[in-house]
Amino acid sequence: MESKSFALQKSIHDRVLAPAHERLLGTRMADHNTGHELVIASFHAAPLTASNSLRRKQIQAAHEELMAMGDKLMTLMVGDFNYPFFTDKLHAHVKNSGYSVSLSDRKTYLRYKVFRGHFDFATSTGLEISKVETLPQGRSDHLPIMVTAEYGREPAVLAG
């Protein structure tokens, strides 16, 4: 139905070393079998050289942009959150915005001994996530994930 790309707040890394313009791609879709409308998005947070605070701001901005695409529609955002450590604040922050965090069944980044963890996961509202499966590694330094979800309740309203 409609797709948009969005620029999110940039990190120093984005500005100096490897400019990243759009970090969010969202698509508003219709399931013709059930009549449900939903928003599906691909997200890529700032790299590990940025602060977790910046990544939380990017996630919040991404959720706001997706809600603007489909107010009160079920939403699934999947991608590289670059947030493997100190995730308690992230979970609380995402929950306060009306979304849920779903981690994969295994770690998704294994390249360096120090930086192993769940870098790739999903946030959602209005969907019941039953499984986030880590798939075999391809060409990327991240392992891909596959999300299994069912239509659930109406999404929560964003907290002010």
Convert the pLDDT of each residue in 23-73 to its tens digit: 899 999 999 999 999 999 999 998 888 899 999 999 999 999 999 998 889
Structural domains in the chain, sorted by start: 2-151 (3.60.10.10)
How far are the Cα atoms of 50, 119, 124 from residue 14, in angstroms, in the given order? 9, 18, 26
Q: Report the C-alpha gap between 26 and 133 in whole angstroms.
A: 22
pLDDT at 113 over 70: no
Closest CA to 155 of 56, 66, 92: 66
Which residues does 55 contact at the CB level (< 8 Å), separation at least 6? 45, 46, 81, 82, 83, 90
Higher pLDDT, 18 or 33: 33
pTM, two decimal places? 0.86
pLDDT on residue 110: 64
pLDDT tens digit string along 127-160? 999 999 988 887 777 788 899 999 986 555 544 4
Residues 6+ apart with CB under 8 A from 3: 25, 26, 27, 28
> What is the pLDDT, as a whole number, of residue 159?
44
C-alpha–C-alpha distance, residues 60 and 82, integer Å: 15
